[in-house]
Amino acid sequence: MKKNKKFKQDRKLWFRGLKQLIKIRYKRPKFIYLGDKPLNCSVILSNHVGTDAPMSLELYADFPLRLWGTGEMNSGLVKLYRYQTRVYYHIKKGWNLHLARLFCLLASPLTNLFYKGLKLISTYPDFRFKDTIKESIKVLKNNENIVIFPEKTEGKYKDKLDEFYKGFVLLGEKCLKEGIDLSIYPAYFKIKEKVYLIDKPILFSKLKNDFNSREEICNYLVSRCNNLGKVDLNKIS
């Protein structure tokens, strides 16, 4: 019997080799789909949990994906170093700032190399976000899916999500104008259990019909993600 070909993300060969080394640090999680697996023209909304959720998806997800990520991480070594030290390690992770600066002298060049191979879709808080939308639509039309970590927080990452940025709603609205009705998948990475829960999808057109504003859409999906974090895995495993 012919074995099924193992799924591989559309990445360059050198980057695939790098990912094999990174797998030493990030172990394979168990993926649980409460509905259909994302196939194409889908957006997955997930909690962040530092690097663990993005890396788990990039290394082990068996469906085609591209990640949204802050533009500072994809704009050259100097901007990446500043973002990693001041924002990621100091604010988000709670590290001492001087320790973060010292650590990133080694970490940032490696991170910069990784992001060159990741094919990250850069996001911005200003007019450049139109480029994010434009690239995202090309990706979706290429039958890939987009993963977004939209949680809005000024400090450390939280287990319970409070609020979402609305960028993915803008993407959904633009896609509708392009004749694309996105399937939105709430997701939640339970880091202690190493389980990635991916909920049943909901069409973006239904969200637009059921809710009166972008804020209401975000609040509903925040709730869906948080509910996944409360799921008793013994009842679904």
Q: Confidence class of residue 137 from pLDDT cuts 50, 70 and 90?
A: very high
Q: Confidence class of residue 1 from pLDDT cuts 50, 70 and 90?
A: very low
Residue 157 CA to residue 24 CA, distance in Å, equals: 24
Residue 93 CA to residue 85 CA, distance in Å, equals: 10
Query: Domains of the chain by range and CATH?
Result: 27-70+119-235 (3.40.1130.10)
Segment 52-56 shows an average pLDDT of 93
pLDDT digit string (tens) for 187-211? 999 999 999 999 999 999 999 999 9
SS3 (DSSP) at 147: strand
**Is residue 134's pLDDT more than 90?**
yes
pLDDT digit string (tens) for 138-172? 999 999 999 999 998 777 778 899 999 999 999 99
**Is residue 2's pLDDT more than 60?**
no
**Is residue 116's pLDDT more than 50?**
yes
Residue 207 CA to residue 211 CA, distance in Å, equals: 6
pLDDT digit string (tens) for 34-49? 999 998 889 999 998 8
Above pLDDT 90, what percent of the chain? 63
* Averaged pLDDT score across all residues of the chain: 91
Above pLDDT 70, what percent of the chain? 98
Q: Confidence class of residue 237 from pLDDT cuts 50, 70 and 90?
A: low
pLDDT digit string (tens) for 63-114? 999 999 888 888 888 888 998 898 888 988 889 999 989 999 988 888 888 8
| pLDDT value at residue 111 | 83
What's the whole-model pTM score? Answer: 0.90
Distance separating the N- and C-terminal Cα atoms of the chain: 28
Long-range contacts of 108-113 (CB under 8 A, 24+ apart): 108/77, 108/80, 108/81, 108/84, 109/77, 111/73, 111/80, 111/84, 112/76, 112/77, 112/80, 113/18
| pLDDT value at residue 110 | 84
Q: Confidence class of residue 3 from pLDDT cuts 50, 70 and 90?
A: low
SS3 (DSSP) at 184: strand
